[in-house]
Amino acid sequence: MTQRVEHTTVMDRLAIDDLVTGYAIAVDDGDWAAYRALFVPEGHVDYRSAGGIAGSADAVADWLAEMMRRFPVRQHLIVNRRIGIALRDGGAPGDTATVQADYLNPMHLAGPHDAPPGPPAGASGTAASAGASAAPNYTCAGRYVFAARRTTDGWRLTEVVVHEKWRQLLPAHA
């Protein structure tokens, strides 16, 4: 490989890694406009292994917005990222990529005595500061499979498939 190809490959890997991080942040912050912006227009998401739905990124964003109301505190930890960039003839990086990444997602399942979800951390009036317990009592984990494509706006997701491996529900702390 030439230095130019190596530099491009490194830059692509960083951009794809940032795309996956953006996915986690958008879901955790409930920023559904940012979530939608991560995808190509025909993007597809499949949450069926976790008891969810499969469909367009827009449809899944709407579903997630409703479902995540039950979890005022959530934090995706996406680790062990394996990024594969398709290669063109001659070894230059292509315009498609896949990522396999494990996730651990501790969340707080809202109960009848919890305050409604508040603004993101750092803002005043969060659920935790209003007296509700923010201790995680629901955790799920598994593996994401992301597919991405280079666009004129940078790397965007074409598909996300969730493969949930386990989940745990603990009693809420009083």
Position 4 scores a pLDDT of 77
Please state, in angstroms and rounded to a whole number, the distance separating the CA atoms of residues 64 and 146: 17
How do 93-108 and 77-87 pair as beta strands? antiparallel
**pTM, entire model:** 0.84
Judge contact between 34 and 118, C-beta under 8 A. no
Position 89 scores a pLDDT of 85
Position 112 scores a pLDDT of 63
* HEC secondary structure over 50-114: HCCCEEEHHHHHHHHHHHHHHCCEECCEEEEEEEEEEECCCCCEEEEEEEEEEEEEEEECCCCCC
Position 127 scores a pLDDT of 40
Question: Nearest to residue 107, comparing CAs of 65, 144, 77, 63?
Answer: 77
Please state, in angstroms and rounded to a whole number, the distance separating the CA atoms of residues 81 and 163: 15
Please state, in angstroms and rounded to a whole number, the distance separating the CA atoms of residues 65 and 54: 15
Position 5 scores a pLDDT of 76
Q: What is the pLDDT along the chain (174 residues), one digit of tens a residue?
A: 578 778 899 999 999 999 999 999 999 999 999 999 999 999 999 999 999 999 999 999 999 999 999 999 999 999 999 999 999 987 788 999 999 999 999 999 887 655 555 555 544 434 444 445 667 789 999 999 999 999 999 999 999 999 999 999 987 654
Please state, in angstroms and rounded to a whole number, the distance separating the CA atoms of residues 52 and 146: 17
Phi, psi of 83, rounded to the nearest 5 degrees: -100, 130
